[in-house]
Structure 1
Amino acid sequence: MKRWLFPLLIIVAIIITGCSNQTSVQPKKGGKTIKVGIRNSELRTWEFIKEKAAKEGLTIKIVNFSSAYDPNQALVEGDIDVNAFQHVAYLDAFNQKNGTDIVPIGTTIIAPLGLYSVKYKSINDIPQGAQIAVPNDPPNWGRALLLLQEAGLIQVTDDFDGNGGQDKIKENPKKLKIIPVEAANTPRVMQDTAGSIINNGIAVEAGLSLKDALIHESKTAKPYINVIATNKKDQNRSELKKLVALYQSEETANFIKKTYKGNYIPTFISLKELSTYKETFKTK
């Protein structure tokens, strides 16, 4: 009898331990599941939120997309419930180009755009006629032009609307050659150009830090505040509102500041205030 008792106790202990572990990581019974499309640069933030959400009865499934695929397309096709990878100006441009109806449901961070170079240590060192690579999608191309204007290298047109293009440059005293490339390729062309303007998330994926940039956005700018977005028909789902509240908590903000060491800036404003972002361009 004693020979069987000890192994039996071990089996019971294993079963109890397994049940205990499952309870610690599983959401409350009856919880909702949300598929969140992100890019790798914010993975740690969403893993943190996933753990918080489970305690609130909300299951989050993280769907991680490479920079070569637009999570907006996955949202339109119904493969995910929300995404969190883009700023509001990019979202509006996507809707306009594709006839889609994706809406922001909450703000998240600003990921400052930066000009990086492997050849020069200062903006002043960039020579006449140098090539500068910029992301080729209109919103980030326009954002790059504003950064070059802030650096005193160019001046945009009086009717600038935030979107980029060669015709959006009014003055270019150094006769810089602006080279539009796929955003995902901006780190790769650094060797072939005087500098490359790189989106923060892509820079982080390439092993670059904001402190490595010759210049970067220094002020909070509404057009470039990142958002959690969903299809308009889903914007009032209660579980999505709970998701936004979890992201916009003080606990999450502190996690972002500590984890990303200034590369990402938590920025929580109302959707009403966000909707006025185009007024920013009128002062340029």
Structure 2
Amino acid sequence: MKKWQKGLVTILGASGLLLAACGNQAASSDSASDTASSETASEGLMDDGVLTVGVTAGPHEEIFNFIKDKAAEDGFEIELVVFNDYVKPNTALAEGELDINSIQTGPYLETVIADTGYEITPIFENITIPMGIYSEQYDTVDELQEGDTIAIPNTPSQEGRALLVLENAGVITLPEGLGIDATVDDIEENPLNLEFITGDPAQFIAQLPDVAAAGINSNYILDAGLSAKDLAIAMEDSEDTTWVNLVVARTENAEDPALAQLEEYYKTDEVKAFIDETFQGAVVASW
């Protein structure tokens, strides 16, 4: 499992340096101490009484709405800002418009940080939205027939994810160690001579009647109002933490007490039961 390194808040250390620099003048030192204390207090995420959380529409929004109501009973106020894309939430977080966000996996976050230089960091893992192989024709992968057509996402990493699900189900064999970088061109063994086509995963729901099966991230299944349990013939291993989603904050706030409190509200048996009952396997709790 990937171990995420949290950033450390350096406010107290900075205050100490300021006091040392002014140590020759008692009055100045007192003034500097008061100023540093005031600045430290202003850094708290809950100083305004509200934690502002960016979420994508769908599972993240629904789960946080559930948590929001429970936390409010203790006076812990959460304000949700809902996004329909994966770019703006990180920009808004980096620019201070959000306190945290809950929208993304670790690999995606790494790419964002590498591309933008944003000083944002994961705080805790929350859910996984697994990749599945879905079919309207079959109930299991064992029913696949010679020459069947399988639709595979053409987006980076998602193509590899879908192929790995098929490999784990014993349908195909991929080169050892290739992992999520695998493409349909890398398939080494294909005993059923399946035909693989690639395309936009957002279109796969409409295409399900025309193919034997399709690799679809479960959020599309949820958006279409379909049941993952009814349509899935193979699913990503729920124990694989590669694609776990993360709650992310600015690095300077990584040790803020409000975030530890939020994690306690999030990681409860009650929230896990809500996830299980609401999403029926299309979303899995990470704890």
Q: Decide: shared fold, TM above 0.5.
A: yes
Unaligned residue ranges in structure 2 (runs of 5+): 1-45
Aligned counterparts, 1:73-112, within 5 A: 73-77=88-92, 78=95, 79-96=97-114, 100=118, 102-112=120-130
Bigger mean CA offset, 238-247 vs 194-203: 238-247
Contact 1:41 1:205 in 2 (8 A): no
Q: Does 1:172 align with 2:172?
A: no
Q: CA deviation at 1:262?
A: 4.0
Q: CA deviation at 1:149?
A: 0.2
Alignment: residue pair count: 238
Distance 1:139 1:105, change over 3 A: farther
Aligned counterparts, 1:266-281, within 5 A: 266-268=285-287
Unaligned residue ranges in structure 1 (runs of 5+): 1-27, 269-284
What is the match of residue 225 of structure 1? Answer: 244
**Percent identical:** 29
Distance 1:131 1:92, change over 3 A: farther
User: With structure 1 as the length reference, what TM-score do the two structures score?
Assistant: 0.71
What is the match of residue 258 of structure 2? Answer: 239
What is the match of residue 274 of structure 2? Answer: 255
Bigger mean CA offset, 46-55 vs 28-37: 28-37
Contact 1:39 1:85 in 2 (8 A): no
Aligned to 1:41, which of 59, 77, 81? 59
Q: CA deviation at 1:203?
A: 0.9
Contact 1:76 1:231 in 2 (8 A): no
Distance 1:101 1:142, change over 3 A: farther
User: With structure 2 as the length reference, what TM-score do the two structures score?
Assistant: 0.70
Q: CA deviation at 1:148?
A: 0.5
**AA partner of residue 222 (structure 2):** V
Aligned counterparts, 1:147-158, within 5 A: 147-158=165-176
Distance 1:223 1:264, change over 3 A: same
Aligned to 1:138, which of 140, 145, 156? 156
What is the match of residue 219 of structure 2? Answer: 201
Distance 1:262 1:130, change over 3 A: closer
**AA partner of residue 171 (structure 1):** E
Q: CA deviation at 1:122?
A: 3.5
Contact 1:30 1:57 in 2 (8 A): no
> Distance between the aligned counterparts of 1:185 and 1:97, measured in 2?
28
Bigger mean CA offset, 162-171 vs 40-49: 162-171
> Distance between the aligned counterparts of 2:222 and 2:214, measured in 1?
14
> Distance between the aligned counterparts of 2:168 and 2:175, measured in 1?
14
> Distance between the aligned counterparts of 1:29 and 1:96, measured in 2?
31
**AA partner of residue 91 (structure 2):** V
> Distance between the aligned counterparts of 1:142 and 1:251, measured in 2?
34
What is the match of residue 15 of structure 2? Answer: none
